[in-house]
């Protein structure tokens, strides 16, 4: 039976069984004993079942103890087993040779039991210590390797974007500074390009974040494909990418790359099995002309990118002084707009809508203007993006609704009852959902304007994101008796399905379809199709931007309901509108009809 304490095995090798028996007797109480009666057997036993220690007789027939010791100490798996040579010879030569072959100690016959136990004990303890040390060392090496891996990963996380694997903002800044130093030393040029995707938010909102992520990964792949290996493509965050073109001979090289980037971005992407087309806006700054330091260069490339976006997207712009001035103007306008919110610089014009069937005014649309103290009257196109970008549109929009309702009550009191009032809403106001409904309730309550004569105009793009919430808000407004008009119809991405789902009563066909309206144009066919579809969905059709008698005739043939446009009247101030209603100024006066 094995004593559980006896966990170490000692191999006793001796050609004399009496010696083996004696040795076994000495050690049996503490160790498991194996034995072999010659060198061959000893080597076979070591190979099969390596012991923790070997007591090896030197003088044996066949392979002697020295040779066995030598082979054991050379063996890959056995070299760490301590070998104690047992010899009858009291021969210093033999000891020297034994140590040379790798033995750790000597015992001489006749053996002295306490000495045997002491020597064996010491060498086994040494072996255990050595093994423990080796284990500790291995662990240390492994831990070290793991730590280095971890540090490497952390470093990558700190410098690379996890999603796309591109350098992140921090590494981009390092590289930019390095590129500047290099260019400074070599008197070279390089260019910094900022890229922003045009419809990223839309993809995220409609197809989900997975699709958005997929898009970013694919975009980064395409961007990398456009530049040389030595150039840096980085992701600053969101849908903002930058490219450092480390060496350019001429500005036209940057332009070439910018064009290639735009070309790559308009190639359709397949996201979640769906084909999606986006585009990009690209801004370019050149070192050293557009900035000698990293922050200035970045700011200017960003500024140029913003200009590209404002110019209608899918475009690139070089930074220029003019771009800079526009950026300054934008900042100034923003401050001025904040201030103007509390003054009477904003005012409303009204444009009548005329029923084709009767030729009578059925209502009017309120249109916002800003009477800027220096620049004169500004139109929505000139300040609406800023009002939306800064969030000021919610305050201004509330003012528009209140003022329009008050003005409409004035016309009521003058006897022009029953006119409809259309007010435009911005996407930002719409996103406030409950607050918007509260505002409308409050304004109607305070002004006494009847809800069934209020029409709120929304655009298709507002409907694209978060349709559930939008739908809920629309239903609450409709439940109050208000009607909803889909403005600029045909310019966005809206589908028939959307029109069916949303509680919409009116569509306003965008004026771009009217502008080149001749009896035989495609637009005529388009308008005819919209009108017939609207009939089936029981929608009221308003056609905007009708300027000429010819266009008006065509609209009459197609059978739209109401017409709004210069052919009848341009937008007029509150007093002008009253005069028009009273017949003090003629309709259609603006184009002489
Ligand atoms: P919209 O709602 O589609 O308004 C119609 C625009 O077409 C107005 O431009 C109007 O002056 C113009 N228009 C009307 N008839 C004709 C025509 O026969 N020919 C031509 N060429 N244009 C015509 P406006 O006033 O510059 O407003 C532009 C846009 O600004 C509006 O487009 C609307 O989306 C937005 N907007 C105006 N007021 C407000 C407002 O109070 N709040 C919000 N959120 N947006 C507003
Ligand atoms: Mg409108
Ligand atoms: Mg419109």
pLDDT of residue 1: 45
CATH 3.20.20.450 range(s) for the chain read: 333-582
With the most atoms of ligand 1 within 8 angstroms of its CB, the residue from 364, 365, 544, 550 to mutate is 544
Among protein residues, the one whose CA lies closest to atom 21 of ligand 1: 545
Q: What is the mean pLDDT of each run of 10 residues along the chain (593 residues)?
A: 69 95 93 95 95 94 94 92 86 86 90 93 93 92 92 86 94 96 91 94 89 96 93 94 89 91 94 90 94 94 91 89 78 90 92 94 97 93 89 94 96 91 92 91 96 93 73 93 92 69 90 75 81 90 93 88 95 94 79 38
268 neighbors 195 (Cβ within 8 angstroms): no
Q: How far is the CA of 544 from the centre of ligand 3 (A)?
A: 6
* Residue 340 CB contacts under 8 Å (≥ 6 apart), including other chains: 346, 370, 372
Element (H, E) at 237: strand 232-237
Q: Which residues surround ligand 2, an ion (CB under 5 A)?
A: 424, 457, 487
144 Cα to the center of ligand 3, angstroms: 67
Residue located nearest, by CA, to atom 8 of ligand 1: 367
Residues 6+ apart with CB under 8 A from 430: 436, 458, 462, 470, 473
Q: Where does the chain hold its CATH 3.40.50.2300 domain(s)?
A: 4-134
Residue nearest ligand 1's atom 22 by CA: 545
* Minimal-distance CA residue to ligand 1 atom 35: 380
Order of strands, sheet of 83-87, starting from the edge strand that comes earlier in the sequence: 32-36, 9-13, 53-57, 83-87, 105-108
Indicate if ligand 1 lies below 6 Å from the C-beta of 426: yes
388 lines ligand 1 (CB under 6 A): no
Quick check: CB of 457 below 6 Å from ligand 1? yes
Backbone angles phi, psi at 122, to 5 degrees: -60, -45
Beta strands 269-271 and 274-276, pairing class: antiparallel
E strand or H helix that includes residue 366? strand 361-372
Residue nearest atom 15 of ligand 1, based on CA coordinates: 565
- Does residue 61 contact residue 15 with C-beta atoms inside 8 Å? yes
- Ligand 2 centre distance from Cα of residue 432 (Å): 19
Q: What integer pLDDT is reported at residue 539 of this predicted model?
A: 92
Helical H segments across 227-281, by residue range: 251-266
Distance CA 98, CA 585 (A): 128
CA 385 – ligand 1 centroid, Å? 14
CA of 485 from ligand 3 middle (Å) equals 10
Output the six-digit token pair for 501. Answer: 């789902």
Q: Closest Cα partner for 439 from 405, 468, 484, 475?
A: 405
Tell me the CA–centroid distance for residue 487 and ligand 3, in Å.
Answer: 5
pLDDT given at position 519: 58
Which ligand sits closest to the CA of 564?
1
Question: CA end-to-end span of the chain, whole Å?
Answer: 122
What is the residue with the minimal CA distance to atom 19 of ligand 1? 545
User: Where does CATH 3.30.70.270 sit in the chain?
Assistant: 169-319
Q: Which ligand 1 atom is nearest residue 488's CA? A: 3
511: Cβ below 6 Å to ligand 1? yes
How far is 553 from 514, CA to CA, in rounded Å?
12
Which residues 6+ apart lie within 8 Å of 386 measured at CB? 330, 333, 334, 337, 392
The ligand 1 atom at the shortest distance from the C-alpha of residue 368 is: 38
Q: Give residue 425 CA to ligand 2 midpoint distance, Å.
A: 8
**CA–CA dist 496, 394 (Å, integer):** 29
**Burial 526-563, CB ≥16 within 10 A → b, else e:** ebeebbeebeeeebbbbbbbbbbeebbebbeebebbbb
**Residue nearest (by alpha carbon) to ligand 1 atom 45:** 424
**Does ligand 1 have an atom closer than 6 angstroms to the CB of 571?**
yes
Question: Tens of pLDDT along 40-52?
Answer: 999 999 999 999 9
The ligand that comes nearest to the alpha carbon of residue 565 is 1
Q: Is the CB of 569 under 6 A from ligand 1?
A: no
Q: What pLDDT is recorded for position 500? A: 78
CA of 367 to the centre of ligand 1 (A): 6
pLDDT digits (tens, 9 = 90+) for 568-583: 999 999 999 999 999 8
Whole-number Å distance between alpha carbons of 513 and 488: 10
| 167 DSSP 8-state letter | B
Look up the pTM and report it.
Answer: 0.58
Measure 424 CA to ligand 3 centroid, in angstroms: 9
Q: ω before 288 within 30° of 0 (cis)?
A: yes
Ligand nearest to the CA of 462: 1
What CATH code is assigned to 4-134? 3.40.50.2300
Provide the pLDDT for residue 592. 37
* Cα angle for residues 579, 585, 587 (degrees, 5° grid): 110
* pLDDT tens readout for residues 461-514: 777 666 778 888 999 999 999 999 999 888 766 566 677 788 999 999 988 888
Kindly give the distance from the C-alpha atom of residue 424 to the centroid of ligand 2, in angstroms, as a whole number: 5
CATH code for the part of the protein at 333-582: 3.20.20.450
Tokens of 544: 């905007």
CA–centroid distance, residue 453 to ligand 1 (Å): 20
Question: CATH classification of 169-319 is 3.40.50.720, yes or no?
Answer: no
């Amino acid at each position: 039976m094995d004593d559980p304490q006896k966990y170490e095995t000692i191999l006793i090798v001796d050609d004399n069984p009496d010696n083996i028996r004696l040795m076994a007797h000495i050690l049996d109480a503490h160790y498991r004993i194996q034995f072999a009666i010659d060198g061959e057997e000893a080597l076979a036993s070591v190979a099969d079942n390596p012991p923790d220690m070997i007591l090896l007789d030197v003088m044996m027939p066949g392979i002697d103890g020295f040779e066995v010791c030598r082979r054991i100490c050379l063996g890959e798996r056995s070299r760490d087993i301590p070998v104690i040579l047992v010899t009858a010879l009291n021969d210093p030569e033999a000891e020297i040779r034994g140590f040379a072959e790798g033995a750790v100690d000597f015992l001489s016959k006749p053996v002295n039991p306490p000495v045997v136990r002491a020597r064996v004990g010491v060498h086994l303890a040494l072996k255990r210590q050595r093994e423990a040390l080796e284990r500790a060392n291995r662990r240390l090496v492994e831990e070290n390797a793991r730590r280095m891996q971890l540090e490497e990963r952390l470093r990558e996380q700190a410098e690379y974007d996890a999603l796309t694997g591109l350098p992140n903002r921090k590494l981009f800044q390092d590289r930019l500074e390095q590129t500047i130093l290099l260019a400074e030393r070599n008197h070279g040029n390089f260019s910094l390009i900022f890229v922003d995707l045009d419809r990223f938010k839309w993809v995220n909102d409609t197809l989900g974040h997975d699709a958005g992520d997929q898009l970013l990964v694919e975009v980064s792949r395409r961007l990398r494909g456009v530049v040389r290996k030595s150039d840096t493509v980085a992701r600053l965050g969101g849908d903002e990418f930058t490219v450092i073109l480390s060496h350019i001979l001429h500005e036209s090289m940057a332009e070439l790359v910018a064009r290639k980037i735009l070309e790559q971005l308009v190639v359709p992407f397949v996201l979640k099995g769906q084909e999606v087309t986006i585009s990009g806006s690209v801004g370019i700054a050149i070192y050293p002309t557009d900035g000698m330091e990293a922050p200035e260069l970045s700011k200017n490339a960003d500024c140029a990118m913003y200009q590209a976006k404002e110019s209608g997207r899918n475009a690139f712009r070089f930074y220029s002084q003019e771009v800079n001035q526009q950026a300054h103007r934008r900042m100034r306008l923003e401050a001025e707009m904040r201030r103007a919110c509390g003054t009477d610089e904003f005012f409303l014009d009204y444009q009548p809508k005329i029923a084709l069937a009767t030729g009578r005014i059925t209502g009017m649309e309120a249109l916002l203007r800003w009477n800027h103290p220096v620049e004169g009257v500004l139109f929505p196109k000139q300040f609406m993006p800023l009002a939306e970008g800064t969030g000021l549109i919610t305050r201004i929009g509330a003012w528009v609704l209140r003022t329009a309702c008050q003005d409409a009550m004035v016309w009521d009191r003058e006897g022009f009852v029953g006119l409809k009032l259309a007010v435009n809403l911005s996407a930002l106001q719409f996103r406030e959902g409950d607050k918007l409904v509260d505002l409308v309730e409050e304004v109607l309550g305070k002004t006494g304007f009847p809800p069934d004569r209020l029409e709120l105009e929304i655009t298709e793009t507002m409907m694209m994101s978060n349709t559930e919430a939008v739908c809920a808000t629309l239903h609450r407004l409709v439940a109050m008796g208000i009607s909803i008009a889909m403005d600029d119809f045909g310019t966005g991405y809206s589908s028939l399905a959307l029109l069916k789902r949303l509680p919409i009563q009116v569509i306003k066909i965008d004026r771009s379809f009217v502008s080149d309206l001749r009896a035989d144009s495609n637009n005529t066919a388009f308008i005819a199709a919209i009108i017939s579809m609207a009939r089936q969905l029981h929608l009221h059709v308003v056609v905007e931007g009708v300027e000429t008698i010819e266009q008006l005739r065509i609209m009459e043939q197609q059978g739209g309901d109401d017409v709004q446009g210069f052919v009848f009247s341009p937008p007029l101030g509150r007093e002008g509108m009253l005069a028009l209603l009273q017949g003090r100024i003629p309709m259609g006066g603006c184009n002489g009809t």
